[in-house]
């Protein structure tokens, strides 16, 4: 991946993290009675609106990255079909959901200003779209988590490596747990005390995004673990007075072979002495 590509992904994650941190300081999770001025409520609502738009982008790209990783280990063409379906569903549901969240009020600033000059669509429609998105997200996450077990069954690697690879690739199921936890909180989107009532939605959404990013990133740690394992074995061989398990085993095998060959050596030595005496 090029440097601009890294910069784009990092900027997106930083954007989402900034919205969460700044929004929590501004007042997300607080009751309306705890605010001293209307401007404080407006600021908190603005960061909520900005954070929910960043959330959709982050989790969508996280799912797509995991799916593209599975395409690399898909041997047959038919194995790739399921992954492409998951990617298509992720985009087909994620993009409309993002548009609904961003444009639910006209003008857009009416979401956080609440002046009454504009209008917002009924929150029941927002909740219905959120239910559809959550159901699709659960389906995609479980598929991305369980499908690798099917994909790696024919790989020419050891059984231990297969289980390790399946465990790493199957972490997508963990992200779906956060989606399931968020579903009971979705009706709170219609509450009057919005910032306080939707704190559960905000927390579970942040957990889901974090787990998705971690699941897509842990796979890249395999070369590092391999290098650390190799370094550990090298250090073990170079430390004076410290022997590795392989070295001890080699010494035992060598000693055993010497003990087994010693009677034959003595027998051959005795035969040579008898022949030497007869020659004299």
Task: Note the pLDDT of residue 228.
Answer: 62
Q: Which two tokens mark 105? A: 């009020």
Highest averaged pLDDT of the listed ranges 44-53, 69-78, 177-186? 44-53
pLDDT at 110 over 90: yes
Rounded (10°) angle between helices 123-151 and 172-182: 160
Cβ–Cβ under 8 Å, residues 143 and 96: no
Count of other CB atoms within 10 angstroms of residue 258: 10
Q: What confidence tier does 12 reach under pLDDT thresholds 50, 70, 90? A: confident
Task: Note the pLDDT of residue 271.
Answer: 56
pLDDT digits (tens, 9 = 90+) for 24-38: 999 999 999 999 999
Task: Note the pLDDT of residue 243.
Answer: 46
HSE at residue 181, side-chain half, CA atoms within 13 A, is 16
């Amino acid at each position: 991946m090029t440097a601009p590509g890294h910069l784009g992904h990092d900027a997106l994650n930083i954007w989402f993290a900034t919205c969460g941190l700044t929004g929590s300081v501004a007042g997300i999770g607080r009751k309306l009675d705890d605010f001293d001025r209307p401007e404080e409520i407006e600021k908190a609502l603005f960061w909520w609106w900005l954070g929910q738009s960043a959330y959709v982008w982050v989790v969508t790209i996280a799912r797509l990255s995991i799916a593209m990783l599975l395409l690399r280990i898909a041997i047959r063409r038919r194995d790739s079909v399921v992954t492409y379906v998951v990617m298509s569903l992720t985009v087909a549901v994620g993009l409309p959901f993002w548009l609904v969240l961003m444009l639910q009020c006209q003008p857009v600033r009416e979401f956080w200003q609440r002046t009454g000059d504009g209008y917002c669509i009924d929150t029941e429609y927002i909740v219905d779209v959120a239910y559809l998105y959550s159901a699709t997200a659960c389906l995609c996450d479980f598929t991305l988590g369980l499908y690798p077990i099917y994909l790696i069954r024919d790989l020419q690697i050891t059984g231990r490596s297969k289980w390790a690879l399946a465990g790493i690739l199957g972490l997508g199921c963990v992200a779906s747990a956060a989606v399931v936890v968020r579903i009971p909180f979705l009706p709170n989107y219609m509450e009057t005390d919005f910032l306080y009532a939707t704190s559960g939605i905000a927390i579970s959404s942040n957990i889901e995004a974090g787990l998705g990013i971690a699941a897509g990133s842990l796979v890249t740690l395999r070369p590092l673990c391999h290098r650390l394992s190799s370094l550990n074995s090298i250090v073990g061989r170079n430390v004076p007075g410290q022997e590795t398990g392989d070295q001890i085993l080699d010494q035992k095998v060598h000693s055993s072979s010497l003990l087994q060959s010693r009677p034959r050596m003595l027998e051959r030595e005795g035969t040579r002495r008898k022949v030497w005496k007869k020659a004299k």
